[in-house]
Amino acid sequence: MQHCDNTRCNGLWRNASCLTTQLPGFNQKNARLEVGPAPYTAPAADQIVVRNRAVAVNPLDWIIQVAGTVAYRWLTYPTVLGSDTAGEVVEVGTAVTRFQVGDHVLGHAVGTDKDSNSAAEGTFQLYTVLLERMACPMPDSLSFQDAAVLPLAVSTAACALFQRDQLGLQHPTLSAEPTGQTVLIWGGSTSVGSNAIQLATAAGYQIITTASPHNFDYVRSLGATTVFDYQSPTVVADIIAELSGRTCAGAVAIGTTSAAACVKIIAACTGKKFVSLATPPASFAPLADGGRSRLTFARIMTQFVTKSVGLQFSSRVRRVRTKFIFGTTLKSNDVGTAIYRDFLPRALADGRYLAAPEPNVVGHGLHDVQRALDIQRKGVSAAKVIVTLD
Ligand SMILES: NC(=O)c1ccc[n+]([C@@H]2O[C@H](COP(=O)([O-])OP(=O)(O)OC[C@H]3O[C@@H](n4cnc5c(N)ncnc54)[C@H](OP(=O)(O)O)[C@@H]3O)[C@@H](O)[C@H]2O)c1
């Protein structure tokens, strides 16, 4: 493991410390993140460069690490993972008017996207290149560690709720009129769910959600009107009963067991017959935890295919449409600007939008990021795993 200090070069901050990972073969020992040197990359016209002060860890990061042979296969290695950052702007592209050097921003980095495939756009390093339209100014009241909980979860929730190819709900505003419709958000205490509840509430919808009982007050504090325990044997019937007499605007399914349950509920209710799917149908976690054998891999892929086919069959029979969310697609449509430019800056500034879930700061410095991935993979409850980078 190698550690480099930042140096200054040609008037630019040179990024000399990054995390890289190698593509792990599924039958090989898991490749852990390493800290090493990386070049500073200047922004394109529509980009900014941020000196990261706090970064968050998402399931996506360890999924790519343990399942890189099937997930995000296009990535070239070594790469820099990480989607969520909060920090200071150090350089802006020539077309950027919304930000200046020194501004505090939070942003969703999209380096792992196929059309980016760019280590410079990962957040597990000191300097990250961000698309201007995927960044949001931070109010003074917000700390970096609080702000870093938001970006990917906000983006994923926004894609699910507002994109026309997903639920296509009306956009959030600071003073939304009630629509009289209800959205089901299965998995309200996840990071994505916490933000889906807030965004849909701000768009004028009532929210039915699920969580473990110890998180009932938490999801209600974000705006959920009714909450059910997703582990209850009667949860599907209970939610169908709760939705009786209401118009449902569709569902966002978060969590490995969520899709089948949401399809059954939406099929039984009046309203939009659509379920946005956030979670793959099988967990890749067993590939870490010493289970990187061909057998484990084959078992997971079999589950993946079987459950996907089962869900397709079940949703067709019930005439419910489903679609998987890709949490970065808003970068190329009107939802990105509706959230990161028009809604979130003011909603955060006036305290109507909360940085949720709570940050759980597990480390300080790039060397702690691998540990942070391990902690996230083992499971969190209404919390975001954060590493600060002072
Ligand atoms: N498609 C995309 O672009 C995209 C982007 C981001 C995330 N995701 C996926 O979205 C999911 C959530 O990600 P995240 O970062 O928000 O998760 P997270 O915060 O790590 O999720 C932790 C929460 O999951 C809840 N949970 C566990 N099992 C559940 C189940 N069966 N049903 C409902 N909730 C359950 C727990 O709730 P309690 O503690 O209350 O029990 C816990 O609070 C993951 O599957 C992730 O891979 C997809």
How confident is the model over 204-229, as pLDDT tens digits?
999 999 999 999 999 999 999 999 99
- What ligand 1 atom has the least distance to the C-alpha of 214? 40
How distant, in Å, are the alpha carbons of 106, 202, 272 from that of 171? 21, 8, 17
- What ligand 1 atom has the least distance to the C-alpha of 194? 16
262 phi/psi in degrees, rounded to 5: -65, -40
Residue 254 has pLDDT above 50, yes or no: yes
Residue 16 confidence (pLDDT) = 40
315 lines ligand 1 (CB under 6 A): no
Residue 289 confidence (pLDDT) = 66
Q: Where are the alpha helices (DSSP H) in the chain?
A: 59-66, 144-147, 151-162, 191-202, 216-222, 235-243, 258-267, 294-317, 334-337, 344-349, 369-378
257 — alpha (psi -120 to 50), left (phi > 0) or beta?
Answer: alpha
Average pLDDT over residues 329-335: 98
Residue 15 confidence (pLDDT) = 43
Q: Within its chain, how far is the Cα of 48 from the centroid?
A: 21
58 lines ligand 1 (CB under 6 A): yes
Residue 43 confidence (pLDDT) = 98
Query: What spacing in Å lies between the alpha carbon of 256 and ligand 1's midpoint?
Result: 8
296 lines ligand 1 (CB under 6 A): no
Lowest-confidence range among 120-129, 290-299, 347-356?
290-299
Average pLDDT over residues 4-9: 33
Lowest-confidence range among 116-125, 193-202, 299-308?
299-308
Residue 28 has pLDDT above 50, yes or no: no
User: Is the peptide bond between 357 and the residue preceding it cis, with omega within 30 degrees of 0?
Assistant: yes
Residue 13 has pLDDT above 80, yes or no: no
How confident is the model over 273-303, as pLDDT tens digits?
999 999 987 888 777 765 667 788 888 889 8
Average pLDDT over residues 255-264: 96
Residue 22 has pLDDT above 60, yes or no: no
Tell me which residue of 47, 40, 106, 113 sits closest to 81, measured CA to CA: 113
Residue nearest to atom 9 of ligand 1 (CA): 279
Lowest-confidence range among 99-108, 274-283, 365-374?
274-283
211 lines ligand 1 (CB under 6 A): yes
Q: Within its chain, how far is the Cα of 324 from the centroid?
A: 14
Model confidence at 24, pLDDT cuts 50, 70, 90, reads: very low
Calculate ∠ Cα 16-20-25, nearest 5°: 165
Residue nearest to atom 27 of ligand 1 (CA): 255
- Secondary structure class of 5 (helix, strand, coil): coil
212 lines ligand 1 (CB under 6 A): yes
Residue 292 confidence (pLDDT) = 62
Q: Specify the higher pLDDT residue, 66 or 200.
A: 200
Beta bridge partners of 386: 56, 361
Helix (H) or strand (E) holding 91: strand 84-92
Average pLDDT over residues 241-261: 97
Average pLDDT over residues 12-40: 60
How high does pLDDT run on average in the chain?
91
- Secondary structure class of 278 (helix, strand, coil): coil
Model confidence at 21, pLDDT cuts 50, 70, 90, reads: low
DSSP secondary structure, 178-227, as one string: P-SEEEEEE-TTSHHHHHHHHHHHHTT-EEEEE--GGGHHHHHHHT-SEE
Query: What spacing in Å lies between the alpha carbon of 356 and ligand 1's midpoint?
Result: 13
Q: What percent of the chain has pLDDT over 70?
A: 91
Model confidence at 12, pLDDT cuts 50, 70, 90, reads: very low
Query: What spacing in Å lies between the alpha carbon of 157 and ligand 1's midpoint?
Result: 12
Average pLDDT over residues 10-39: 56
Residue 285 confidence (pLDDT) = 79
Model confidence at 200, pLDDT cuts 50, 70, 90, reads: very high
Lowest-confidence range among 122-136, 276-290, 304-318?
276-290
Q: Quick one: tokens of 234? A: 């009667």
Residue 19 confidence (pLDDT) = 59
Residue 311 has pLDDT above 70, yes or no: yes
Query: What spacing in Å lies between the alpha carbon of 113 and ligand 1's midpoint?
Result: 21
Residues 6+ apart with CB under 8 A from 3: 17, 35, 366, 367
Full-model pTM = 0.94
Query: What spacing in Å lies between the alpha carbon of 282 and ligand 1's midpoint?
Result: 13
Query: What spacing in Å lies between the alpha carbon of 58 and ligand 1's midpoint?
Result: 10
Average pLDDT over residues 69-90: 92
Residue 6 has pLDDT above 70, yes or no: no
